[in-house]
Every structure is written in structure tokens, then in C-alpha cells.
Amino acid sequence: MRSSDLLLVVDVQNDFLPGGALAVPDGDAIVPLVNRLAARFANVILTQDWHPPGHVSFASAHAGGKPFDTLRMPYGPQVLWPDHCVQGTRGAEFAAALAVPHAQAVIRKGYHPHTDSYSAFLEADRVTPTGLAGMLRERGIERVFLCGLALDFCVAWSALDARGAGFEAVVMEDACRPIDTGGSLQAAHASFAAQGVQRAQTADLAG
Ligand code: VGL
Ligand code: ZN
């Protein structure tokens, strides 16, 4: 890997693992791959979905709202989710088996009560930055590899926004798992092709 490469480890948190509030099927299977992958990068940043109680993305916050329904918000369509990754809860903690002690920063996202943030770069209003793009630019990062959960939501939106911010983006597919609801996985693949997000397997990585 080059010194201008960075691995972004997206939302490897208890609530996205089997038994969690928003379990991604087979999500726990990626953890050993993520650990091995991260060991090859000098530059690693973790993201952490981090919602206040009653967050706008929770079905429970809307009268008659059901998980996996879509609601129209001022900033666009919002999928409603079970309550998940509530600040300070066990579900919001990183998976116990995640072993990335050399991670350099944790980007928390989704902490504004009325706006979701799948992306590590831009909130769902598509204008509020998290600050990650500036951090990466200041540090001379040019290429962002991504792994984690869920492929078709937080990984996909982060990869697309990495491209939008001028970085190369490479999704390590075998170190991700999708939620796959309402055509989300197909849509992610189409956007990757349209926006120049590369798709790779961990075994493809040289050096
Ligand atoms: C995520 C749905 C809601 C994700 C986060 O990490 O992909 N998905 N919040
Ligand atoms: Zn969330």
C-alpha cells in the first residue's frame, strides 16, 4: 500500500452484527477479514453510527412508522430503521472482535437529531460535512479503500462521497455485507459503475 492510501472501516458495531438491533445478515463474518485488511494499512479510520435517542431515522420516532418503510423528509427519502446505535449503548460499541488498535481516528455520524448520515463525508442533507474530507486532504490521502457494514448503505454512500470529494475509492467487497432492502444493493452497484468506484476482493490487493 502507498502512504497516500487509507482504509475506512465503516460501522463494525454490535447493532449491525447478528443479534443486534439492525443485524446485517452474516455481518460477523467480515470481522476477521477487516482485521487482516487493516493490518496492511498504515492509515486507518473507523466510522461509528452514533444516534441520539428518538433519532429521525428510527421508525419508532414516527407515528405509524414501520422499519424498512421509506418516509419523505425535507432532505429526501429516508428509510426507517429499528432503533440502533444509540449513543452510549452496547449496540453502538465496536464489535468486540474488531482488532484495529492502530486506527487513527473515529468519525461519528448521525448525531444530529433531525438528519441521518449514512456517509462518513456528508450528512443526508447532502450539504453538512463531517470534516473527514478536509482531514484526509490535509494528510495527503489520495485513495480510500472501504470495508464494513452495510455495503449498500453506509459503505456505498461513503464510497460515492469519497469520489465526489476527489479521492479514488475502492470497495473491498468480501469485507462488506449488504442489508439489501428495496433494491438497495443493485442501486449501489449501479452507482459504483456510474461514479467510478472500484470493486475489489481482499485477495486482489498486492503488497
Ligand atoms: C447503516 C442503516 C442505518 C449502515 C446505518 O451502517 O449501513 N444502515 N444506519
Ligand atoms: Zn444509522
Neighbours of 74 (CB within 10 A): 9
56 lines ligand 1 (CB under 6 A): no
pLDDT at 206: 73
The percent of residues above 90 in pLDDT, for the chain, comes to 98
The three three-digit cell numbers of residue 192, written as one number? 459504483
Query: Do residues 25 and 150 touch, judged by C-beta distance below 8 A?
Result: no
Residues 81-90 have a mean pLDDT of 98
End-to-end CA distance of the chain: 6
Which residues share a beta bridge with 47?
10, 107
Centroid of ligand 1 to alpha carbon of 153 (angstroms): 6
The H-or-E segment that residue 17 falls in is none
Q: Cβ distance 196 to 163 under 8 Å?
A: yes
Please state whether the predicted TM-score (pTM) of the whole model is above 0.85: yes
HSE-CB at 45 with a 13 A cutoff on CA atoms is: 22
Tell me, using a 6 A CB cutoff, whether residue 58 lines ligand 1.
no
Report CA(51)–ligand 2 centroid distance (Å): 7
Q: What is the pLDDT of residues 21-76, one digit of tens each?
A: 999 999 999 999 999 999 999 999 999 999 999 999 999 999 999 999 999 999 99
Which residues make Cβ contacts (< 8 Å) with residue 99, sequence separation at least 6?
A: 35
Q: What is the H or E stretch that residue 71 is in?
A: strand 70-73
